[in-house]
Structure 1
Amino acid sequence: MVKAKKTTIHDVAKAANVSIAAVSFALNGKGTLSQATREHIIATAEHIGYQADALARGLRRSRLGAIGIVNRSLDLLGEYFLPGIDAFDRTISTLSALALQRGLAPVVLPDLTGASIPAISLALDGYIIVSPQSGDPVLELLDNREIPYACIGFDPSQAGFRSWASEDDAESCLQVMEHFRRQGAQHPSLLRGESENSWNVSSEQAYRTWCAAQGVQPQVHVLDESSGVAGAVGLFDKLWPQNKTDAIYAMTARHAVGIVTAALDQGVDVPGELLVATGSDSEAARFSRPAISAIQLNPNEVCADALNLLIERMEEREPSGPVLRRAKFRPRSSSLRR
């Protein structure tokens, strides 16, 4: 016999055409909702058979003073230590330090839907989820348990979710494309990862929009992030010289290093014949030869924003997000012709 799927707070929000936060406010008698909206949400919840998780309600009443941090990009890579790629370390360490400063103990955990998660994971006061994926099962779990969370980046499938902070990835992509154009590139391409997270999705959308405005044929290549340097080397060997491109924006630093490595091995002049930049600055990009132009991420501000958004949800206040921060593009030798 197939077990019926449990009705979740997300289902109530969808049926009532309101946000998840509004459902939480209505069912818990909090927030500044109008009486009509509150009654509408409660009636909708009763109509579709929603029953709040008693454990989740109990946890909210007895705070532990601890929050969880989950990095979904690392979960999907299946690796948690990436030498030369310091962006992940900086995000986790910054979140941890900021949480401690706010009197909250940070607990770093892997995929919450995995088999080896400690029991305390569902007793934490809330979570910051870094780089959620489209339709992310970790967010679904937290919604079902009514555990508050905020995100760095957003789930592309959750259009109405507001408790997230990020660099403005679309604007970052446009910075790189305009830099390529000023350096003489006429056929720039995008190398993104397979993961359907906001970083990849927003960057591709911005790239295609830019290409349409410039009358340029878009060239989007997709590689599994875990393929690393070797994956990008293999891709470049297939692309060059048959593929007409004179600039490559590789979202991950390891893919950018792979492109530069393969280009030099084939005698391609970087930057003379090919411009290269990456969407994530790191030691690997900075110490490459030539050094690779990169988007410099801004963990201090973005992590502080995400923590503030989480605390809002923990205190059942109206969300003030999303919050976008402008990242800075650092041109280096790999893309400077003039």
Structure 2
Amino acid sequence: MARYPNVTIKDVAARAGVSITAVSHALNGKGTLSDETRARIRDVAQTMGYQADALARGLRRAQIGVIGIVLRPLDALEDYSPPGVDYFLRFAGAAAVSTLDHGLSLMQVADLAKGPVTPLAFSLDGYIVTDPVRHDPVVDLLEERGIPYVTLGRDLGRPDATNWVASADADAALMAFEHLHEQGARDIVCVGGTDDNSWNADAEAAYRSWCERTGMPARFLRSPEGLGESGGRDLVPVILEGGMPDAVYSLTGRHAAGIQDALRERGLVAPRDYLLACGTDADQTRTADPPITAIDLRPETLARETVALLVAITRGEEPAGRRLVPSELLVRRSSLRNG
């Protein structure tokens, strides 16, 4: 009998010619696989010497009633309470309530791929992974271990995946551009982050498409999310070097606040001299002077949809997934030149 060192569930899936989910269902007695397919997968796993962690396998079979949540953008920041960023707090709080509605509990876990991680982390019923980066290592690890998961936002490296819920980020960006255009903006600078996730990618794609369609010049700038307000401030000389735009659309609230402060120091005030809008509502956008127009991503709705999808998957169902949640544009004084 051939044996393969350090064999993973992904290796078994590749050799059997099936998905990782199929291997997980075959080994755990779940799903709707035929008896023939289930037996074949088990034979491949036995031949290869695949053996999942006994504690994790036993606890997952017993459904311990706890799901995990990994907040990837905060892992990247190495700060789980960044000033002014309440989106993740709203999402996590609503997810906790939603899991209770399903008779479950929620546990927040730091980056699973970095470790050290308690063995209990791999014994949970499933995971919510927020804003994964392309080929996210946490998602890789969950797949290798056969642990069910749902992502909030798409993993750009897995275009065929269906187990995700996302805000309609391209539509939200277009709403903001339309609003700025209606207020007279014909030259809009767009500021995104550097994380390689679907939130940044979809907003940039929407911006470039909008510019091409309207004949506007495309001026897309990036600043690392972790720099916060200082990152926005540092971009202002670059913005002005290309000529003062009619409007600035910043994906993050902290960047937007830094841009607003640095332009004010130069005597440029919204909405008199330019319009300002932001891709996510935050404490900085609400308390700024003037308050900054922003997108409400509706994290409470996203949480309910994400939890419901994960619960269905952990119960052996095959839900549709790929759920898009519309966002809302909160118009404030920073973008109301005619208001």
Q: TM above 0.5, one fold?
A: yes
Amino acid corresponding to residue 121 of structure 1 in structure 2: A
**What SS does structure 2 have at the residue aligned with 1:201?**
helix
Bigger CA drift: 100-109 or 131-140? 100-109
How far apart, CA to CA, are the structure 2 residues paired with 1:222 and 1:111? 25
How far apart, CA to CA, are the structure 1 residues paired with 2:161 and 2:191? 28
How far apart, CA to CA, are the structure 2 residues paired with 1:222 and 1:15? 43
Query: Which residue number corresponds to residue 237 of structure 1?
Result: 237
How far apart, CA to CA, are the structure 2 residues paired with 1:154 and 1:314? 19
Amino acid corresponding to residue 63 of structure 2 in structure 1: R
How far apart, CA to CA, are the structure 2 residues paired with 1:269 and 1:44? 69
Check whether the contact 1:232–1:256 (CA below 8 A) recurs between aligned residues: yes
Question: Aligned pair in 2 of structure 1 residues 309, 328: CA closer, same or farther (>3 Å)?
Answer: same
1:197-222 CA-partner distances (Å, limit 9, x unpaired) = 11111111111111121122321111
1:136-191 CA-partner distances (Å, limit 9, x unpaired) = 11111111111111111121111111111121011001101111111111111211
Query: Which residue number corresponds to residue 53 of structure 1?
Result: 52
Give the structure-1-normalised TM-score.
0.89
**Deviation for aligned residue 1:64:** 1.4
**What SS does structure 1 have at the residue aligned with 2:289?**
coil
How far apart, CA to CA, are the structure 2 residues paired with 1:11 and 1:192? 39
How far apart, CA to CA, are the structure 1 residues paired with 2:119 and 2:139? 17
How far apart, CA to CA, are the structure 2 residues paired with 1:238 and 1:174? 24
Question: Aligned pair in 2 of structure 1 residues 10, 266: CA closer, same or farther (>3 Å)?
Answer: farther
**What SS does structure 1 have at the residue aligned with 2:150?**
strand
Query: Which residue number corresponds to residue 112 of structure 2?
Result: 112
Query: Are 1:329 and 2:329 counterparts?
Result: yes
Check whether the contact 1:23–1:41 (CA below 8 A) recurs between aligned residues: no
How far apart, CA to CA, are the structure 2 residues paired with 1:253 and 1:108? 24
Query: Which residue number corresponds to residue 211 of structure 1?
Result: 211
Query: Which residue number corresponds to residue 10 of structure 2?
Result: 9
How far apart, CA to CA, are the structure 2 residues paired with 1:180 and 1:288? 18
**Deviation for aligned residue 1:237:** 2.4
Query: Which residue number corresponds to residue 177 of structure 1?
Result: 177
Check whether the contact 1:166–1:325 (CA below 8 A) recurs between aligned residues: yes
**What SS does structure 1 have at the residue aligned with 2:254?**
helix
Query: Are 1:96 and 2:67 counterparts?
Result: no
Query: Which residue number corresponds to residue 154 of structure 1?
Result: 154
Give the structure-2-normalised TM-score.
0.89
Check whether the contact 2:297–2:328 (CA below 8 A) recurs between aligned residues: yes
How far apart, CA to CA, are the structure 1 residues paired with 2:16 and 2:286? 49
How far apart, CA to CA, are the structure 1 residues paired with 2:254 and 2:61? 45
**Deviation for aligned residue 1:309:** 1.0
**What SS does structure 2 have at the residue aligned with 1:93?**
helix
**What SS does structure 1 have at the residue aligned with 2:69?**
strand
Amino acid corresponding to residue 248 of structure 2 in structure 1: I
**Deviation for aligned residue 1:288:** 0.2
**Deviation for aligned residue 1:32:** 4.0
Amino acid corresponding to residue 307 of structure 2 in structure 1: L
Query: 1:178-327 maps to which residues of 2 (within 5 A)?
Result: 178-243=178-243, 245-327=245-327
1:224-254 CA-partner distances (Å, limit 9, x unpaired) = 1011101110111232153453211111100
Question: Aligned pair in 2 of structure 1 residues 264, 111: CA closer, same or farther (>3 Å)?
Answer: same
Question: Aligned pair in 2 of structure 1 residues 65, 238: CA closer, same or farther (>3 Å)?
Answer: same
**Deviation for aligned residue 1:91:** 0.8
**What SS does structure 2 have at the residue aligned with 1:150?**
strand
Question: How many matched pairs?
Answer: 334
Check whether the contact 1:21–1:318 (CA below 8 A) recurs between aligned residues: no
Amino acid corresponding to residue 167 of structure 2 in structure 1: E
Check whether the contact 2:281–2:296 (CA below 8 A) recurs between aligned residues: yes
List gaps (5 residues or longer) in structure 1: none
Query: Which residue number corresponds to residue 79 of structure 1?
Result: 79
Query: 1:26-45 maps to which residues of 2 (within 5 A)?
Result: 30-32=30-32, 38=37, 42=41
How far apart, CA to CA, are the structure 2 residues paired with 1:6 and 1:189? 49
How far apart, CA to CA, are the structure 2 residues paired with 1:122 and 1:71? 16
**Deviation for aligned residue 1:40:** 12
Amino acid corresponding to residue 324 of structure 2 in structure 1: L
